Amino acid sequence: MSLLPELLQAALLMLFASASAVRIGLARRGYDEPRQPALFCALLAFGLAAGVGICAVARLALGLDTFEAERWLLRATLLLGVPLIGLVALTFARRWSWSRPTWGRIVLGLCAFFELARQLGWSDPYALALGLFSGLLIIYAGLLQGPVPRQTAAGILGGMLLLASLPWTGLAIGSNPLADYQQLCLALACPLIAWLLLKLPLSAKEQSLEQA
């Protein structure tokens, strides 16, 4: 049994994920082409997480029948949103610039594997594998900012919170002890990761565009 009411966790997820999506959406206007598609992918990820919170609040506070939508959005967050966030953090931390078609293929590929995993009943182990990889990518992105302690801390803490939110279905070590706090972990991770993404350094090409 969670010590933090489920409704409060859902409300925090709705607020923090929505605020992160708005922050990313507003920030996109100030970036040039190299980061536009990546930030759109981050916006999509935070939007999915916000949708989970909105559906949960509607179910718990208003008594609406949104459980299936909530469950689908949570699955989409874990199987699409979380890996997108991990890849965005990686590309920004390494100062890589991927084109719009490349990001489009990544989104389509993740969507295809998302549906395939759902059809085959592999959603939980697939989500765990993707989540582990994505959480480690965010931690790695933070560690690359070694000279900047706040960004390093945001990457490590945000990545660990994502890892804490993952389902441990099928593991020999048992279930996730933080399973009752999944939405809280996601809620706390969102603003940390959004802040980190917007603080990661520009590539040399983007710096020259800004200085022009």
Domain boundaries, the chain: 6-211
pTM: 0.88
CB 17 within 8 A of CB 46: yes
How confident is the model at residue 209, as a pLDDT? 40
Query: Closest Cα partner for 158 from 128, 129, 134?
Result: 134
How far is residue 193's CA from residue 136's CA, in Å, rounded to a whole number?
A: 13
Q: Which residues are CB-contacts of 86 (< 8 A; sequence separation ≥ 6)?
A: 133, 134, 135, 136, 137, 138
Q: Is 74 left (phi over 0), alpha (psi -120 to 50) or beta?
A: alpha
Q: Give the pLDDT band of residue 125 (cuts 50, 70, 90).
A: confident
* Residue 211 predicted with pLDDT over 60: no
In CATH terms, the fold of domain 6-211 is Rhopdopsin 7-helix transmembrane proteins (1.20.1070)
Query: Which of 46, 43, 35 is CA-nearest to residue 13?
Result: 46
Give yes or no for residue 172 having a pLDDT over 60.
Answer: no
Residues, the chain, total? 212
CA distances (Å), 67 to each of 3, 5, 64, in order? 21, 17, 8
| Selected residue with higher pLDDT from 207 and 169 | 169
pLDDT at 67 over 90: yes
Q: What is the DSSP letter of 115?
A: H
Give the model's confidence band at 147: pLDDT under 50 very low, under 70 low, under 90 confident, else very high.
confident
Confidence of residue 169 (pLDDT cuts 50, 70, 90): low
pLDDT of residue 208: 42
Q: What is residue 141's predicted lDDT score, i.e. its pLDDT? A: 93
Whether the pLDDT of residue 182 is over 70: the answer is: yes
Q: Is the pLDDT of residue 178 over 90?
A: no
Question: Is residue 184 scored above 90 in pLDDT?
Answer: yes
Mean pLDDT, rounded, of the chain: 87
Give the position of tokens 């949104």: 66
- Per mean pLDDT, which range of 57-61, 89-93, 130-134, 202-206 is the poorest? 202-206
Residue 133 confidence (pLDDT) above 60: yes
Query: What pLDDT does 4 receive?
Result: 67
Radius of gyration of the CA atoms of the chain, in A: 17
More confident residue, 44 or 171: 44
Task: Tally Cβ neighbours within 10 Å of residue 118.
Answer: 15
**Residue 120, amino acid:** L
Distance from C-alpha of 175 to C-alpha of 166, rounded to nearest angstrom: 10
Between CA 30 and CA 157 the distance in angstroms is 27
Distance CA 72, CA 48 (A): 10
